[in-house]
Structure formats: C-alpha cells, structure tokens
C-alpha cells in the first residue's frame, strides 16, 4: 500500500526536524571549548557475556565510550572493527577492564595508557582512541564520533522518529482494516471467537485434570507412607461426619486466636522468645498440612463409601483398595469443578450453570476440609479412630419371650 500524502508530509517534517536538530546539536558541539588538560573525571565499566564497555568522562566535559559489544568494536557508538568472543582482543580488553575496576579513578588514565593491544586493526583503533583522549585530550578524528551528549540526543531523536513512523504505519493499517470492513470484508470474528471460547474451555478442563493428577499423586504418597493414620481419620470422617465437621469448623475459627495466644505466651515467658522463630512460620504450615491430610482422608472415605454401595457398575468401582478409594473419592469431590469446566466450553450463555457448579465445588471442598480437620483432631491424627458404637446399631424392635408351658 502506498503512503498517503499526509503521512509523506509528516515524514518530511520529521526528517527536517531531525536534520535541523542534528545540525543544531553539531553546532553546539563545535562551539565547545577545546580540551586542555586530559584526565578522567569518572568512569563506568560494564562487563557481561556479550559486552565489555568502558565509558570515560574526561575533563572539559568530554566523554569517550569504547566497547566490544556483540562482535562489534565501537568507539563512541561508531563501529571501527569486529571481534570474536574469546579472541585475543576480547581477552586483552576484558583483562584491562577487570584491572581498571579496582584502580582509583584518578589513576585510571595511567593504566589505560599502558595497555598494549594485540595485533589487529580494531585493537589499534581502540588504543588510538584512548591515547588521543588521554594524552592529547581529544577523540581521534579518524573515528569521527560525535561527543556523547550530542550522540545521545541524536539517537533519541532518531528513536522518536522511528516511533512516530511506526505510529503512522499503525494508523494506516487501522484505516485500511476499517475500510475493508466497510466493504463487507469483515474478518471472521465470530469464528475466531468460537475457537477462543473452545480453547478456554479445554484449558479449564485440563487445569482440573492436572489438579486431579497432582492431588491423586499426593494422596498416593500419603497412602504409601501413612495408610494406617489415613484410614483412622477416614473412618472417623465416615462414622462421625457431623461431629467432625463441627469440630473442624471450631478448629478453623480458633486457629487464629490460638496462634496469637501462642506468640503471647512465648513472649511473656522470655525464654520462649527464640521459639517464636519456629512458631510463627510452622503453625500456619502445620494447619495447612493437617487440613490437607484431612481432605485426603475425606476423599478416601467417600471412595470407600462408594465402593461399598451395591451399585451396578464396572468392577473397578467395587475394589477394596485405598488407592482406588483416593482416586474415586477425589474424582467425586472434583466432579463439580470438572462439570463447570465442561460447561464453560459452551460459552457465555451457560455462565449461570457454570458458576453454580463451580460454587457447588467450592462448598463441597470447604465441607470436606472442615470434616477432615475435625476427624483428624477427633481421631488424634488417626491413632484412635471413632467407629460406630454397638449402641448405634439399628434397633430391631422389641423382643418377646415365649411362654413355655411345660
């Protein structure tokens, strides 16, 4: 597409401004006083993997930048040669800069002047620039580099022009798109939107599945290492769910006061102050760990309850194995989240159902956490599980004694 007349005029204006600005700056540079006594006022040395740069601020307001940067040898930003990483020039220059880092600012010139560059044109140019700046107090004419402040200004101006040109191009592109849409060539936004929606839905499903896999993995680890305790907590959660839930809720509410009280007690005891360093981070960690353990126990209990039901289903559903209990229990607890993710594929019109299912998942998780925490506490970490007592066996009705007439 050819540029419009207005944008061409804008470019011409910018170029005139740039040339004028550069001329003005160049004039200012020429008007500067000739240096008399060379010396280093300040220095900046930067060494990284891709660059080794020396910036000098010299007396009389002059400056010099010598750099080995990205295979280019530069004097005040102008390329005077090339180098390869690790070649003789690179090594020698980096070695010089390393030594210069430890040298006093006033004694830096002496060190730099003593530098002997390795064979090669680029090294000779660097050395010549140093010699010229530090002995004669001038940057060599052969590199024809503008003083640093001016160069910065010009480069800023050039950057600004490039930015403005980019803006002009963007504007032109936008206008072309608007014109195209006016002619009925509107991009197929609806199709793109559909794919985005599908992708978002699939991403949600994947996130739930990943969560499920991670939780199942952690659950397996718990079964592997502490099956006895997990089953103890799970039994308690199954046989006393209401009691466990209330105890868990009470524990959650009391956790913060207990935490603060613990801090207070340790402080008042004076000798317990060092223990604060353990108490403050470990208490919340322990609470989270216990709640997580309880959640897994509830998943185990749910899985076990499901397996015990005489459902008509696949055989694996009825297997009596803690790993299967964890898998099926977690699956049930996460099912609302998965359903919510599946519904989200359908798009915004299903949002109420998606939100409802997500809310159900959150409520279920909260209940499971409360029951799990309570069961953990009631069963003393699963060591003393609560099981159904004989008195709670179903009442079979009154019994009658038969009279015996013998």
Q: How far is the CB of 275 from another protein (least distance, A)?
A: 13
Give the shortest CB-57-to-another protein separation in angstroms. 8
Contact 97, 45 (CB under 8 A): yes
Give min distance, CB of 24 to another protein, in A: 23
**Nearer to another protein by C-beta: 195 or 225?**
225
Residue 227 tokens, joined: 């099956």
Question: Which of 43/244 has CB closer to another protein?
Answer: 43
Token pair 């002995």 in the structure block, residue: 135
Return phi, psi of residue 44, to 5°. Answer: -130, 125
Which two three-digit tokens encode residue 335?
């099912």
User: What is the rounded distance in angstroms from the CA atom of residue 154 to the CA atom of residue 160?
Assistant: 10
Query: What's the rounded Cα separation, in Å, for the pair 90 and 98?
Result: 12
For another protein, give the closer residue by CB, 73 or 100. Answer: 100
Kindly give the pairing relationship between strand 40-47 and strand 72-75.
unpaired
Asked if 327 contacts 349 with a C-beta cutoff of 8 angstroms, the reply is no
C-beta closer to another protein: residue 296 or 370: 296
Q: With respect to another protein, which residue has the nearer C-beta, 57 or 165?
A: 57
Please state the closest distance from residue 267 (CB atom) to another protein, in A: 5
Beta pairing partners, 73: 68, 81
Q: Is the Cβ of residue 15 or residue 101 nearer to another protein in the bound state?
A: 101
* Minimum distance from residue 272 beta carbon to another protein (Å): 11
CB closer to another protein out of 57 and 152? 57
Minimum distance from residue 101 beta carbon to another protein (Å)? 4
| Shortest distance in whole angstroms from residue 210 CB to another protein | 15
Nearest to 132 by CA among 241, 40, 38, 204: 38
- Of 70 and 174, which CB lies nearer to another protein in the complex structure? 70
Residue 197 has which token pair? 């929606």
* 16 vs 214 by CB, closer to another protein: 214
Provide DSSP, 224-276: HHHHHHHHHHHHHHHHSHHHHHHHHHHHHHHHHHHHHHHHHHHHHTSTTGGGH
Work out how close the CB of 322 gets to another protein at its nearest, in angstroms, rounded to a whole number: 16
Please write down the long-range contacts of 384-390, taking CB distance under 8 Å and 24 or more positions apart: 384/232, 385/231, 385/232, 385/233, 385/235, 385/236, 386/235, 386/236, 386/239, 386/240, 386/243, 387/235, 387/239, 388/239
CB of 264 to another protein, least distance (A): 8
Residues near another protein (CB under 8 A) are 40-49, 57, 100-101, 104-107, 221, 224-225, 263-264, 267-268, 270, 273, 276
Q: What is the CA radius of gyration of the chain?
A: 39
- Residue among 30 and 268 whose Cβ is closer to another protein: 268
Q: How far is the CB of 58 from another protein (least distance, A)?
A: 11
Q: CA 282, CA 322: separation in Å to the nearest integer? A: 29
3 state DSSP class of 69? strand
How long, in residues, is the chain? Answer: 406
């Amino acid at each position: 597409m050819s540029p419009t007349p207005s944008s061409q005029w804008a470019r011409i204006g910018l170029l005139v401004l740039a040339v004028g600005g550069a001329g003005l700056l160049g004039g200012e540079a020429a008007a500067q006083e000739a240096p008399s006594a060379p010396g280093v006022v300040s220095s900046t040395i930067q060494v990284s993997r891709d660059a080794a740069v020396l910036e000098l601020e010299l007396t009389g307001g002059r400056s010099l930048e010598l750099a080995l940067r990205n295979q280019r040898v530069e004097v005040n930003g102008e390329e005077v040669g090339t180098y390869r990483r690790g070649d003789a020039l690179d090594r020698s220059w980096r070695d010089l800069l390393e030594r210069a880092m430890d040298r006093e600012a006033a004694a830096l010139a002496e060190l730099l002047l003593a530098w002997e560059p390795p064979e090669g044109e680029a090294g000779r140019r660097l050395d010549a620039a140093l010699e010229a700046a530090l002995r004669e107090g001038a940057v060599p004419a052969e590199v024809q580099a503008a003083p640093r402040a001016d160069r910065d200004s010009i480069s800023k101006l050039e950057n600004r022009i490039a930015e403005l040109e980019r803006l002009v191009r963007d504007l032109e592109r936008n206008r072309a798109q608007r014109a195209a849409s006016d002619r009925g060539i509107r991009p197929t936004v609806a199709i793109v939107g559909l794919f985005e929606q599908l992708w978002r839905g699939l991403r949600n499903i994947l996130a739930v599945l990943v969560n499920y896999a991670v939780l199942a993995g952690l659950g397996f680890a718990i079964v592997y290492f502490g099956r006895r305790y997990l089953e103890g907590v799970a039994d308690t959660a199954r046989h006393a769910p209401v009691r466990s839930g209330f105890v868990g809720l009470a524990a959650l509410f009391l956790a913060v006061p207990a935490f603060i009280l613990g801090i207070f007690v340790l402080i008042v005891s004076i000798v317990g102050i060092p223990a604060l360093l353990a108490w403050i981070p470990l208490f919340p960690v322990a609470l989270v760990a216990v709640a997580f353990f309880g959640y897994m126990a509830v998943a185990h209990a749910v899985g076990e309850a499901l397996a015990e039901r005489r459902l008509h289903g696949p055989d694996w559903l009825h297997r009596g194995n803690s790993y299967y209990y964890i898998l099926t229990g977690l699956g049930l607890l996460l099912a609302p989240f998965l359903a919510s993710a599946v519904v989200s594929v359908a798009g915004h019109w299903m949002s109420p159902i998606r939100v409802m299912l997500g809310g159900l998942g959150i409520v279920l998780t909260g209940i499971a956490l409360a029951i799990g925490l309570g069961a953990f506490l009631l069963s003393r970490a699963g060591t003393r599980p609560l099981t159904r007592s004989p008195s709670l066996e179903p009442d079979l009705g009154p019994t009658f004694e038969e009279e015996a007439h013998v």
